[in-house]
Structure 1
Amino acid sequence: MKDRDGKGERLSVDDRYNQWKSLVPVLYDWLANHNLVWPSLSCRGAKTDGSVPNTLVIANCEIVKPRVAAAEHISQFNEEARSPFVKKFKTIIHPGEVNRIRELPQNSKIVATHTDSPDVLIWDVETQPNRHAVLGASESRPDLILTGHKDNAEFALAMCPTEPFVLSGGKDKSVVLWSIHDHISTLATDQGATKSSGYGGAKSTKAGGSDDKATDSPTIQARGIFQGHEDTVEDVQFCPSSAQEFCSVGDDSCLILWDARTGTAPVVKVEKAHDADLHCVDWNPLDVNFILTGSADNTVRMFDRRSLSSGGVGSPVHIFEGHEAAVLCVQWSPDKASVFGSSAEDGILNIWDHEMIGKKQGDAGFEASDPPPPGLFFRHSGHRDKVVDFHFNSSDPWTIVSVSDDGESTGGGGTLQIWRMMDLIYRPEDEVLTELDKFKSHMLTCSP
């Protein structure tokens, strides 16, 4: 899909962005734009140029309820500004760049991070001291360190929705599984200590320092190391209904399903899920039969785990073609089983509904000369370079946070945006028509 002007030529990035900006009051109920000081590879992580330490920043954002967003705020949109609605809560000095961060669903105060090392770091952001990111400051001490990789694990990271389990993939072509419960720690239960399950031993290792002096962080050994990929593992994801089942994708173009109860070998291996490296995967939390993958071949593919392949070659239910560059992130909506998002190096974040395929669909954010591909009903074009991560808000499902690496375009370190499309875009057509009829009736009643 291409952005075009009236002559059929592709719009430049700036032209596309300016066109999108003019439509903001029409397309959005809420939009907060926050220009970052330093580049970010995840919705909570940041990396620096070495003049200040790498940091993990925890921020709060005030988001108004639907339909009460101030029109004045939308009209005063300024991409160079830092949103007054985004307020920094705490800064943690991270040992190395923050490549990926994920929250524990059972306790959002517990987060895992990936950096350029084989280890996964676990942080209790509530008890971690707030730090000042100044040159020469010592690194914050992780609450736990998860060991098991034999080479760097930079991006593939997931937290289990049903148990305090952590999953990781790395350059060693392995998928590694841990349980936070395997360490006697206040992280384990609300009451404090718990007995070790016996699956993993705890020991200590040096992991940076604190405001006082360098101390040791306890480590947890892996419950299982799963091998089946032939190249770097780029992303991993748990099955929403089982802590023992998970999937992974990698630079070998493979999608693999695993089950820890049956051993460390693949349960199903799709040899050619895409025509290039796979960058991301997500498992539908509302319908566990469906899995999404995104690839360097610019497509998103939806697989049904009951019929993943034919002769080892991927057999997707549908191929979604709406990006012009490598897809970096995919995520299912936590609210509607058929809705998902995808973001890519083309600076676009697309919102899809696979139930719309073959049906009449809206054209929010699209030109008449450039109709959307099947299933695509909203295109967020608020970023001017690759959208490296995004996330649906589980408590307000149509509110999305997205982050892009567009420092050269913005004069900063990148852009963080929190936004919610106008509800008339995604609500059922009959509801919208009924509401418009009520509005029309009201206008007639109020007219002279």
Structure 2
Amino acid sequence: MLSSPCSQSGHRDCLRRPEQAASVQVRSSRRRRPSVSEMKERGGSRAAVDERYAQWKSLIPVLYDWFANHNLVWPSLSCRWGPQFEKATYKNRQRLYLSEQASASASIYYFISTDGSVPNTLVIANCEVVKPRVAAAEHISQFNEEARSPFVKKYKTIVHPGEVNRIRELPQNSKIIATHTDSPDVLVWDVEAQPNRHAVLGASESRPDLILTGHQENAEFALAMCPAEPYVLSGGKDKFVVLWSIQDHISALGDSSSSPGASGSKQSGKIANEKESPKVDPRGIFHGHDSTVEDVQFCPSSAQEFCSVGDDACLILWDARTGTDPAVKVEKAHSGDVHCVDWNPLDVNYILTGSADNSVRMWDRRNLGSGGAGSPIHKFEGHKAAVLCVQACQDNILLFCTLYADMVASYDVFGYLFAIILVSDCSGHLTEHLFLEVLQKMVGKKKNSNVPAGLFFQHAGHRDKIVDFHWNSSDPWTIVSVSDDGESTGGGGTLQIWRMSDLIYRPEDEVLTELENFKAHLASCAPRN
């Protein structure tokens, strides 16, 4: 197993970009023999993870309304729900976007035998989402971790130029998505018009339908689509926030005959066809950060207002109508790099940020002065590692998720619900306490004092680092998450689709009434001291 010491500021790259560490530390594809002490340490930690995982798996029928596990051959860096396209009595069908990282550097890191010519891909899958209170308990708890789920079927493959670090869908046109890779450009794809490709050795790259230019250095993670207008927002290592409008190209993207990738019967060089992708210049380039921009987000009600965060620990609010300088700049929003930001879609006054200082903070923009004065209205602390992603639910005013690696927990603060995804560093005692608290709540026992205030749910189904997740806007309590299993299994990843039981978040009186008939069984499941 490779080891790469991660400083706080570099935690994100070490977690999301293992090949960077591999390129420095690995000189060949041969695996170094671990020392005796390393083997003992790995064996002990792996045994603890396996024990906690076994405990979690035994509680699936109690904690979940539905659960699906899908094994991935290659590692993945991003997952995203697409549009729902079919409704049935017991389940709905929906697009699911997923990346496959099969680059040469990933092959070295994961010790997979390949000469580096296996391409990176963007996968469009069809997912069957079982409706609430339909799946039988014995069905969701009986699955093979090494098998692919029957609920997830590959529909189309795009051979992507470089690894797919981010995927974002265009709200105004469900067929259009944008991707970030290791380059200054943003790539835009019409997933229906693009031809289905086979990810074979030496396959030529698919041609994006649009290329958005404007960054001077690589832009790898910060990417957002506007809910109000067909605008795209990006941030990069050049410290810029860049805004594009693709309005003039929407009609061309909707015409499959005009897609550069659609005429791929003839191939020239490495690209699938000879026609070059059209390029779009930015509408505005915004200056204000002093370091890499890590994440960006539009205001849900305005195409002209957006926010960004970066490695300079700043939260910046922008208004394109007033120029390219910050409208509000909050200095030292966190004590470490700020990795992620999201804007509440139901109340645009609230903004969430997550940081390398292991905390999530909620801001009220009405309290932020022009000089950046103001404090967060709440701090969510207690995490054991950097928070890498935060996402607000579109159907609950104060419900959100944050990524911080192999678990999901939920908090009730000020009487509202909050959902948090936690990293692997905290997967020890916190998991056990979570299960104990959930079961104690159901059987009427006293709350465990060691559980963080307000915690009411935590997803602990991943045994390695989670790299991405996404709320399902068509089914608000359903979440897709993907983990990078390189350290635990030597390669591949795990995609999980899950929905917590409504007994966990419904009003307590309703829950207790329904559970009365099952009280004895739940009490027998609770851990014994």
Interval containing the TM-score (normalised by the shorter chain): 0.7 to 0.9
The yes-or-no answer on 1:138 pairing with 2:209 is no
Is the contact between residue 272 and residue 314 of structure 1 (CA under 8 Å) also seen in structure 2? no
Cα gap change, 1:10 to 1:122, in 2 (>3 Å): closer
Aligned to 2:486: 407
CA drift at 1:108? 2.1
Aligned to 2:392: 332
CA drift at 1:105? 1.4
Q: 1:165 corresponds to which letter in structure 2?
A: Y
Separation (CA, whole Å) in 2 of partners of 1:29 and 1:254: 39
The yes-or-no answer on 1:152 pairing with 2:214 is no
Greater strand proportion: 1
Is the contact between residue 434 and residue 451 of structure 2 (CA under 8 Å) also seen in structure 1? no
Aligned to 2:455: 376
Is the contact between residue 467 and residue 484 of structure 2 (CA under 8 Å) also seen in structure 1? yes
Which ranges of structure 2 fall in alignment gaps of 5 or more residues?
1-44, 80-97, 105-115, 260-267, 419-432, 438-446, 520-529
Aligned to 2:426: none
The yes-or-no answer on 1:25 pairing with 2:84 is no
Is the contact between residue 410 and residue 417 of structure 2 (CA under 8 Å) also seen in structure 1? no
Is the contact between residue 148 and residue 222 of structure 1 (CA under 8 Å) also seen in structure 2? yes
Deviates further, 381-390 or 96-105: 381-390
Q: 1:158 corresponds to which letter in structure 2?
A: A
Identify which of 101, 116, 121 aligns with 2:167. 101
- In the TM superposition, what whole-angstrom CA distance separates every residue of 1:349-369 from its partner, at most 9, and x where no partner exists? 23334333799xxx8535565
Cα gap change, 1:418 to 1:285, in 2 (>3 Å): same
* TM-score of the aligned structures, taking structure 1 as reference length: 0.86
Identify which of 505, 509, 514 aligns with 1:426. 505
Aligned to 2:235: 169
Cα gap change, 1:98 to 1:214, in 2 (>3 Å): same
Separation (CA, whole Å) in 2 of partners of 1:254 and 1:399: 32
Is the contact between residue 315 and residue 331 of structure 2 (CA under 8 Å) also seen in structure 1? yes
Aligned to 2:42: none
SS in 1 for 2:194: coil
Q: 1:34 corresponds to which letter in structure 2?
A: H
Identify which of 34, 38, 49 aligns with 2:103. 49
Aligned to 1:37: 73
SS in 1 for 2:252: coil
Aligned to 1:114: 180
Is the contact between residue 35 and residue 79 of structure 1 (CA under 8 Å) also seen in structure 2? yes
Alignment of 1:256-335 (within 5 A): 256-308=316-368, 312=372, 315-335=375-395
Aligned to 1:209: 271
Q: 1:390 corresponds to which letter in structure 2?
A: F
* TM-score of the aligned structures, taking structure 2 as reference length: 0.73
CA drift at 1:254? 0.5
Cα gap change, 1:19 to 1:434, in 2 (>3 Å): closer
- In the TM superposition, what whole-angstrom CA distance separates every residue of 1:333-352 from its partner, at most 9, and x where no partner exists? 1111111111114x222333
Cα gap change, 1:339 to 1:357, in 2 (>3 Å): closer
Separation (CA, whole Å) in 2 of partners of 1:352 and 1:123: 37
Deviates further, 226-235 or 65-74: 65-74
SS in 2 for 1:287: coil
CA drift at 1:207? 11
% identity of equivalent residues:
75
Is the contact between residue 17 and residue 381 of structure 1 (CA under 8 Å) also seen in structure 2? yes
Q: 2:365 corresponds to which letter in structure 1?
A: R
Cα gap change, 1:311 to 1:56, in 2 (>3 Å): same
SS in 2 for 1:365: helix
Separation (CA, whole Å) in 2 of partners of 1:11 and 1:370: 27
Identify which of 352, 356, 372 aligns with 2:415. 356
The yes-or-no answer on 1:238 pairing with 2:294 is no
Aligned to 2:244: 178
Q: 2:102 corresponds to which letter in structure 1?
A: T
RMSD across aligned C-alpha pairs, in angstroms? 2.8
Greater helix proportion: 2
Is the contact between residue 304 and residue 320 of structure 2 (CA under 8 Å) also seen in structure 1? yes
Q: 1:24 corresponds to which letter in structure 2?
A: I
SS in 2 for 1:258: strand
- In the TM superposition, what whole-angstrom CA distance separates every residue of 1:407-446 from its partner, at most 9, and x where no partner exists? 3324541111100000111112233245446999xxxxxx
Cα gap change, 1:87 to 1:184, in 2 (>3 Å): closer
